[in-house]
With several copies, the nearest count.
Chain A
């Protein structure tokens, strides 16, 4: 289910021991 409970909050990937990639300024060259 979507609402309620501890799973609503986004679990930050910042705690994970692997490299995270985020696009911050539009599309990469394609």
Chain B
């Protein structure tokens, strides 16, 4: 058994970690912190033409989420970047040059999905380090799988810490969990150690 004081400490520590972006780790991809989206290579935003913005009853445009939402912290249902099909690319410039140590992918929990499933979630993916935006073949940092039966937030350690540091990384998604039309990316984070 534990005392009330011990229980309070456990709870407070858990809430403290939760309040620190849930991981307690710096996210070098976060847009407000200096990260930015450089490119989506050949992947295309899945334009559904469902969200119509109007003013005074006059239709103005169809709204769809841009890839920037992948490096923004709002992960309410729908606030994802949807690309056509199940193969997508995202080239991200980090806020600074780091030795990547892990990556975090987040999706909405199944309990919050109006469809009752998360078939649009990414499945197999890789992350590469690029020396510059235009490099075609970067250094493979790791191959991973987002588990739809796992937690809505999953962190993937880099198997082998790269010798060189990177300020640009490329996220390549190869498959999703079954959605035939698109794949949704809610949030991708990059953790690591800055170069001195």
Contacts and interface: CB of A to CB of B under 8 A. Distances in A.
A24 B114 CA distance: 17
A16 to B, nearest CB: 7
A12 to B, nearest CB: 7
B40 A26 contact: no
B66 A16 contact: yes
B41 interface: yes
B92 to A, nearest CB: 12
A13 B39 contact: yes
Interface stretch (B10-18, B52-60, B144-152, B156-164): B52-60
Contacts of B41: 7-11
Interface size class of B (residues with CB under 8 A): 35 or more
Q: Is the interface of A mostly helix, strand, loop or mixed?
A: loop
Interface string A1-30: 011001111111111111111111111111
B180 interface: no
Interface string B89-113: 1010101100000000000100001
B57 to A, nearest CB: 3
B196 interface: no
Contacts of A14: 54, 56-57
B120 A25 contact: no
Given A2-B137, A16-B66, A21 B184 contact: no
B53 A19 contact: yes
Given A24-B49, A26-B50, A27-B114, 4 more contacts: A2-B128, A10-B133, A21-B36, A21-B54
Interface of B: 31-43, 45-46, 48-57, 60-61, 63-68, 77-78, 80, 82, 89, 91, 93, 95-96, 108, 113-115, 120, 128, 133-134, 136-138, 172, 182, 184
The 8 closest A-B pairs by CB, nearest first: A14-B57, A29-B82, A7-B42, A10-B39, A18-B66, A25-B50, A8-B136, A27-B34
